[in-house]
Amino acid sequence: DTGVSQDPRHKITKRGQNVTFRCDPISEHNRLYWYRQTLGQGPEFLTYFQNEAQLEKSRLLSDRFSAERPKGSFSTLEIQRTEQGDSAMYLCASSPSDFSYNEQFFGPGTRLTVL
């Protein structure tokens, strides 16, 4: 399967715990995005990487959130001191490097439940 993969698919945690999600983009896709989707809503942009550089962060990304993309390949999203409001589907998408091209391919998502 050459699509975007995410791990884990589901995560249940207690409030105050830290969680980390992983995203493996489509091979050779230089651009990587994280989005968050709550029930009944469309995905909302969180952050963007071009290769290993994090070039843009949404105001939704509080200080408790951090994302990395070492070596420009896979990416991780960590949430510290989780809150019930963090419960959502976290989606990763990747896109080719052509500057004029913005087709984004999404992974299956990680569903986070904070108890």
Partner 1 sequence: GENVEQHPSTLSVQEGDSAVIKCTYSDSASNYFPWYKQELGKGPQLIIDIRSNVGEKKDQRIAVTLNKTAKHFSLHITETQPEDSAVYFCAASRKPPYSGAGSYQLTFGKGTKLSVIP
Residues within the interface to partner 1 (CB under 8 A): 4, 6, 31, 33, 35, 40-45, 48, 50, 53, 55-56, 58, 91, 95, 99-100, 102-109
Distance of CA 1 to the CA centre of its chain: 19
Cβ closest to partner 1, residue 14 vs residue 102? 102
Q: What does DSSP say about strands 10-13 and 110-114: parallel, antiparallel, or unpaired?
A: parallel
**Cα dist. 32→40, 72, 87 in Å?**
24, 9, 22
Q: Tell me, what amino acid is at 95?
A: S
Q: How far is the CB of 23 from partner 1 (least distance, A)?
A: 11
Backbone angles phi, psi at 5, to 5 degrees: -120, 150
Q: How far is the CB of 81 from partner 1 (least distance, A)?
A: 26
Cβ closest to partner 1, residue 80 vs residue 108? 108
- Asked if residues 43 and 36 have their Cβ atoms less than 8 Å apart, the reply is yes
Cβ closest to partner 1, residue 18 vs residue 41? 41
Q: How far is the CB of 28 from partner 1 (least distance, A)?
A: 17
Q: Which two tokens stand for residue 108?
A: 């299956």
Q: How far is the CB of 16 from partner 1 (least distance, A)?
A: 27
Cβ closest to partner 1, residue 9 vs residue 81? 9
